[in-house]
Amino acid sequence: MKRWMALLVGLAAIITTSCSSSGPATVSAASAAPTATSAATGLRDGASLYQASGPLVVENQVDVAAQREGVIATIHADVGTHVHKGQLLGELEDRQLTADRDAAKAKSDGMAADYLHWQAELKMRETDLSRAEEMWKAQLITRQQLDHDRYSVEGGKYYLQRQQEDLRNAQAALRSAQLELDKTRIVAPFDGVVARRYVRVGQKVAMADRLFWVTATAPLNVRFTLPQEFAGRVQVGDAVQVSPAFDGNEKHAAKVTIVSPVVDPASGTIELQAQVSGEPKELRPGMTVNVFVKQQ
């Protein structure tokens, strides 16, 4: 019986020793976890660079919309076409509007001719009045004849003024008709590339319908955020590096152009924007890139 008791006491001592030796190993593994978390926050190259990420954007990027209703007659640019400001992208059916513009132009030209005619007519009446006044002084005509010529000049002035207003109205109608005709021409608002085409030939569109999506290709800007600890440390003009998210070896120079003056209380970060130098062919608007900022 004593032998069995001694054996049980020995086993208890061995179990106690094993448990005490495994405790420190568990604590050591737990203490290593913060190091892994710190590495995931963006420190690179021996904690000299902070890595952030964000999308590449451009200032000019819009949907070109229809300025009037109509039917697509022709398409001059497709997806991938590089365009310049004012370049024709497509056209709406314009036969009726062309006829309206031509009619307005004919009326305007007729009014202009009438105005010139009455300008000459008024000068002729003024000449007749001057001659009548000389003849009145010489008592060669009656008072009634002189007054007739005077009233003729006055009436001519009023009629010429009315002709001038009619001409202005006709010219305004011509400009309006020309403006409606110009709305059938779909043009690029700036230099860039056609990213999407929403319509096809023969399709009827309403006013404000999307027709093309045109985007500039440069300059490229990247928008990203940094922890609030960087507030006051990163300034406009500071150099940063940008690389595609899928290729960390390819780096491009960029400079900070915008630094938010406030910290977002929800995330504890500040917003920044950097402009990529040059026009790298590997980068495209909308692409996600990594931004490397020096830690000071």
| C-alpha triplet 63, 85, 81: angle, nearest 5° | 65
Report the DSSP pairing between strands 288-294 and 269-276.
Answer: unpaired
Closest by CA to 99, choosing from 204, 205, 167, 180, is: 180
pLDDT band at 127 (very low <50, low <70, confident <90, very high): very high
Residue 210: φ, ψ to 5°: -75, 135
Residue 221's pLDDT band, with cuts at 50, 70 and 90, is: very high
Query: E strand or H helix at 186, and its extent?
Result: strand 185-187
Contact 230, 256 (CB under 8 A): no
| 225, β-bridge pairs | 271
Q: What pLDDT score does 295 carry? A: 83
Is there a contact between 54 and 222 (Cβ–Cβ < 8 Å)? yes
Q: In sequence order, what are the residues at sequence separation of 6 or more whose Cβ sits closer than 8 angstroms to the Cβ of residue 198?
A: 209, 210, 211, 212, 213
Domains and CATH numbers, the chain: 42-58+217-294 (2.40.30.170), 72-90+187-215 (no CATH), 94-183 (1.20.58)
SS (H, E, C) 43-108: EECCCCEEEEEEEEECCCEEEEECCCCEEEEEECCCCCCEECCCCEEEEECCHHHHHHHHHHHHHH
Q: Which of 181, 170, 169 is nearest to 100 (CA)?
A: 181
Provide CB contacts within 8 A for 134, sequence distance 6+: none
Residue type, 85: K
The yes-or-no verdict on residue 28 having pLDDT over 60 is no
- In which band, very low, low, confident or very high, does the pLDDT at 22 lie, cut at 50, 70 and 90? very low
pLDDT digits (tens, 9 = 90+) for 169-216: 999 999 999 999 999 999 999 999 999 999 999 999 999 999 999 999
pTM score, whole prediction: 0.69
Contacts of 258 (CB under 8 A, 6+ apart): 236, 271, 272, 273
pLDDT reading at 109 higher than 60 = yes
